Structure 1
Amino acid sequence: MAIEISARAREWLKTKGGVATVRLSPRHGCCGGGADIAVAEASAPKAPEHFTRLDLDGVTVHIDPTLLDQGLRLDVAGFLGLRHLFVGGASPTRSKE
């Protein structure tokens, strides 16, 4: 499976519209280095044609094709109204920039 979604993340996403995006986000170091890390958002991507769409148990996940088959897990953290998605299982990769 391309990505596993915890039960609590699935239920939380359903209250937020049932859509998530998992993408790479560049992070830059202070000395010029950089890495891309996987991040998750409870929204659809701006350019869905650049993502692979997966329909998993009532939730639509748009995932960056380079993250497919990485053994990722989507979960939710926080409490009350301060919850957010996070991706586990992805190693940072060297930025191409």
Structure 2
Amino acid sequence: MAIEVTDRAREWLQQLGGVATVRLSPRHGCCGGGADIVVAEARAPDEPARYTPVQLPGLTLYIDPTLVDQGLRVDVEGFLGLRHLFVDGASPTRSKE
């Protein structure tokens, strides 16, 4: 499994409890199309059994099983209370008909 969490994302997540979820989030277009976007959230998933847990030093990640071998990089952006996680390195987009 290739996953990287940047130092600043790790530090921020540790301040928030040391848990994150990386999952697919469906996005729907206005004309019927759609795509799955990879998102990271600074919380445990609602159904942890549906995810692959990954223990990193000081951090637990719950990763959608379809993303396990995608070569992900989790980072944080923003400032003060307006920070949020983002994911680079995966592009599992697919068209929905």
TM-score range, shorter chain: over 0.9
Deviation at residue 3 of structure 1 after TM alignment: 1.3
Residue aligning to 2:37:
37
Q: Does the residue aligned with 1:81 lie in a helix, a strand or coil?
A: helix
| Contact kept in structure 2, 1:26 and 1:95, CA below 8 Å | no
Deviation at residue 76 of structure 1 after TM alignment: 0.3
List alignment gaps of at least 5 residues for structure 1. none
Residue aligning to 1:5:
5
Give the letter for the 1:83 counterpart: R
* Rounded Cα–Cα distance in structure 1 between residues aligned with 2:95 and 2:41: 20
Deviation at residue 32 of structure 1 after TM alignment: 0.2
Residue aligning to 2:90:
90
Q: Percent identity?
A: 75
| Contact kept in structure 1, 2:33 and 2:96, CA below 8 Å | no
| RMSD of equivalent CA atoms | 1.3
Q: Does the residue aligned with 2:81 lie in a helix, a strand or coil?
A: coil
Tell me which stretches of 4 or more aligned residues in structure 1 moved more than 6 Å: none
* Rounded Cα–Cα distance in structure 2 between residues aligned with 1:96 and 1:44: 28
Q: Given the two structures, how large is their TM-score scaled by the length of structure 2?
A: 0.94
Q: Given the two structures, how large is their TM-score scaled by the length of structure 1?
A: 0.94
* Rounded Cα–Cα distance in structure 1 between residues aligned with 2:95 and 2:48: 22
Deviation at residue 95 of structure 1 after TM alignment: 5.3
Q: Does the residue aligned with 1:93 lie in a helix, a strand or coil?
A: coil
Q: Does the residue aligned with 1:94 lie in a helix, a strand or coil?
A: coil
Number of positions where the alignment pairs a residue of Structure 1 with one of Structure 2? 97
Deviation at residue 81 of structure 1 after TM alignment: 1.4
Deviation at residue 59 of structure 1 after TM alignment: 0.4
Give the letter for the 1:33 counterpart: G
